[in-house]
Amino acid sequence: MKRTAALLCFLLATLCFCEQVKFVSGDFYPPFIYRNERQELVGISVEILKAIEKVSDLRFDIELMPFSEALKLVETGQADMINLIFKTPEREKMFLFSKPILKVQSLVWVKKELKVKDFKELSAFVVGVVEGDANEALLRQKNPSVLVKRFESFQQLIEAVENREIDAFLMEDLTASYYLIKHDLYHLFESLPPLSVEWAYFAFARTKPQLVEKFNAALDRLPKGEMERIINLFVKPRFFVPAWLWWFILTGSVGAFSIFTTLLLINRRLERLVALRTEELRKKNEELQASYEEIEAMNQELQAAKQELEAMNQELMNLNKRLEEKTKQVERFQKGFQAVLDLTNRLTFETIQEKEFLLSVLRTFKDYLPASRAAGVVLRSVSEPGKTLVCLTNEKDPVIQRIDESFDFTSESARAEILKTVARLCDEKDPSCVALVPIASQDAVHGVLLYFSEGVSVVEKQYVEKFALFVATLLSEKLRERTGNLSKKASGRRRQGARVLRLLHEGAF
């Protein structure tokens, strides 16, 4: 009973003599102070305060609120102290500070896609800043024209980043990493060079110098390495390995070494086998290479033979094509020759008019010239001496005209007159390309064959000349026959006249 009473008295005395400290902080300031999934206050600052309570009579009532409100409460003396902040000349006028607690980098984070490398390039963007952040002044020293947008909390700032309302923001390294990872934005941002690398302090109301002394004295009484241990709980994860895990690792290591040794022996055995197989394969490869070279030589010979055969085949195809063309020409000339023979028979056994004769000669002549667009025949008239017959044909119907003039077909004037007649009858503006082939035998020049020489081959021109010679021979024969018949008729008339005279003389009448 006495011991229980003494303990109760001690607790009451402790409570009576403990100093209550109103501690304020931003409502969400990871990793320094925030609520976990179970809504418990955790963070670096919370652990530091717990450690101070163990070595002093200070007891902390923690209250969370917007950071700007927390600053005003401490400044006006309505709160005793505020969570970790940076020391600036302006703040030193308003607050008292503890010993330095934690070194923090202040950074400007920018989207990687913007490719911003210097603070001067921030003028084109809006930079998000938590209201009351002292690093804003440092940023303005780097770029006085920077445009900032202030937010009440880190959470609101990050939500603006996530909603693409801003592309850059100002925040400490540890806090920014926490939010960027939480919102899956870390891979999208990069930081510019640090604005500052400064110590973070606990700040107190200027009316609490004794509280500051007690707090710093408590910091000095903390075990060596305690502050580092607390910080590492949140910024440097530590892994504790239990004893059973060490035993498992040791056993696994021994097993792995045994397996490694066995595999090494097997590997050496396999190396020897691989070396033997490699040598065998090398020899086989040399044999295959020799065979390949032999086959390649044979293939080149076959290729050469193939090319030679292809050249011969091409030559045969060309010859065959020329032979087909010659055959077609021969067939056409045979057809024309047959027509000429028919014409000869008609002239031999029938009486044929000059007009019909001209048309027959023209049609036969036209068959010799499939490529010529126009052709014609010019002959001396046999039935009407002193006149010339002209027979022309083109795409239209044949045209026959009788000229009251007998041409000397060997003269240039006759050629000019014929060309003039061709131009007039065929509507040709330029008859200079018309070729004239004389229809000449040994006895006389009976006329000419005419055609447009464009597109007419050398062989066709030779056949035209032969045809002209044939027609001239035919006309010469007919003239001789006509002359002979006329001579016979004249002799008959002379004999009949002599008979009449004889009868008259004898007095028959």
325-341 mean pLDDT: 67
Please confirm whether the linkage preceding 193 is cis (ω < 30° from 0): no
pLDDT tens digits, 272-300: 999 999 999 999 998 898 888 889 888 88
Angle between helices 243-349 and 458-506 (to 10 degrees): 10
Residue 48 has which token pair? 């530091």
Instruction: Round the average pLDDT of the chain to a whole number and report it.
Output: 81
Exposed / middle / buried, residue 186 (Cβ in 10 Å: 0-12, 13-18, 19+): middle
> For residue 423, how many other CB atoms are within 10 A of its CB?
15
- The answer to whether 201 touches 101, Cβ cutoff 8 Å, is yes
Q: Is 228 a residue whose pLDDT tops 70?
A: yes
Of the listed ranges 96-105, 174-183, 230-239, 483-492, the one predicted with least confidence: 483-492
> Rounded CA gap, 269 and 60, in Å?
73
Q: Among residues 25, 296, 366, 383, which one has the least CA distance to residue 175?
A: 25
Calculate Rg over the CA atoms of the chain.
64
What one-character-per-residue DSSP string does 19-81 give?
A: EEEEEEEES-BTTTBEE-TT--EESHHHHHHHHHHHHSSEEEEEEEE-HHHHHHHHHTTSSSE
**Phi, psi dihedrals of residue 395, rounded to the nearest 5°:** -70, -20
Angle between helices 243-349 and 354-368 (to 10 degrees): 160
Query: What's the pLDDT score for residue 508?
Result: 37
pLDDT tens digits, 342-395: 665 665 444 456 677 777 777 777 776 765 567 888 888 777 777 787 877 765
Q: Is the pTM for the entire model greater than 0.95?
A: no
Q: Output DSSP code: residue 119.
A: G
Residue 408 has which token pair? 């000397």
CB burial string 257-268: b at 16+ within 10 A, e below: eeeeeeeeeeee
Query: What's the pLDDT score for residue 504?
Result: 40
Q: Among residues 114, 109, 112, 115, which one has the least CA distance to residue 187?
A: 112
3-state secondary structure 153-194: CHHHHHHHHHCCCCCEEEEEHHHHHHHHHHCCCHHHEEECCC
Residue 117 or residue 4, greater confidence:
117
Residues facing 29 on adjacent strands: 33
> Within its chain, how far is the Cα of 146 from the centroid?
43
Q: Output DSSP code: residue 124.
A: G
What one-character-per-residue DSSP string does 281-309 give?
A: HHHHHHHHHHHHHHHHHHHHHHHHHHHHH
- The answer to whether 465 touches 440, Cβ cutoff 8 Å, is no
Residue 161 has which token pair? 């980043």
